[in-house]
Structure 1
Amino acid sequence: MYKVEVPRKYDIQQLILGDESTFSMIYDQYSEKVYRLAFRFLKDREQSEEIVQETFINLWLSKEKLDPNGNIWLYLYVIGKRLSLNALREICKSADLTKKLLFNIAEAQNNCEEDILVQDLEQFIEKAVNQLPRQQQLIFKLSRIEGLSHKEIAEQLGISPNTVKNHMVEALKTLKSNLKYADLVSFIILMFWF
């Protein structure tokens, strides 16, 4: 299990003293979290990366004011959130930037919905494949998941390529008939997957 290294009191004291290696360690440990925080507000990759840079510049420039017993993540969170909200205020002053933000929010929401749909479809397909007769299931997985040709499957299983083809035809027929109850989008995605 991956363990997150928490900056110790000593590390914060080292940062206050201007130790660059401590600053680098804190950057490596928290930059991704600051990015996610900024992205939650801005929905823009480039702007979120800028917020990360500004946050750590602010941390470095105000390091002497830090409490040695404080919480680095709390400092970074406050700075990152403030910078993100300031960026949002600037966006709201521009009609074009506001339009871009709204588009990015809608796109992020659509991507989330598409991810959920794809996950649901993958689970549905996996269930349908697992209900195929054992030989069809094996041949289908070797063909569609492993990417083997009919000839390679035939050699691996010690059967004729024609038998592999027949099993694939039957497997696809069964899967398509199971999908007649799935919605149109799922069917289109399935056809793309096949």
Structure 2
Amino acid sequence: MLEKLFNQHASALHRYLLRKKCSPSLASDLVQDTFLRIAQLENLERILCAPSYLFRVAHNLMIDHHRRYGEKRFDNDAAAYFATLVDEASGPEAQAFDALAMEQLESLLERMPERTRDIFMLCRVEGMTHKETARYLRISTSSVQKHMAMALARIGKALDPDPED
């Protein structure tokens, strides 16, 4: 029964935790911890009828983790993050196209200066504002804006199908 729960809800829990700003590795750990907690319960049939309980346990574990260890908002592991973005429910052709696009973006990010890449990841992946990013990295907001403009210009140039315009 636990295996059935895991197969039905593990990927949804993982995506939920990613949306809550967990790193991919932390989200995976918290999903495992969620199911370890669930395994200790006596009445698993109730959870099959109410999977929201799984999400509540995962959410509480995430809060506990952030309280205990502080919130590390940026994992600096772009490859792990981008691997989570390919939609596994889509067809093989769409998955291949998405994976190729993610590889291209990952490659672009690897070639960027480290500070520019970090700022791009914090703003676009983690969802931080320019002001929050500046405070987090202890730099000026104008510096964040400059790096974001540089990152977006590089990405736009690389993704432009007609570079002669």
TM-score range, shorter chain: 0.3 to 0.5
State which structure, 1 or 2, has the greater radius of gyration over its C-alpha atoms: 1
TM-score when scaled to structure 1? 0.40
Task: Give the structure with the larger helix fraction.
Answer: 1
TM-score when scaled to structure 2? 0.46
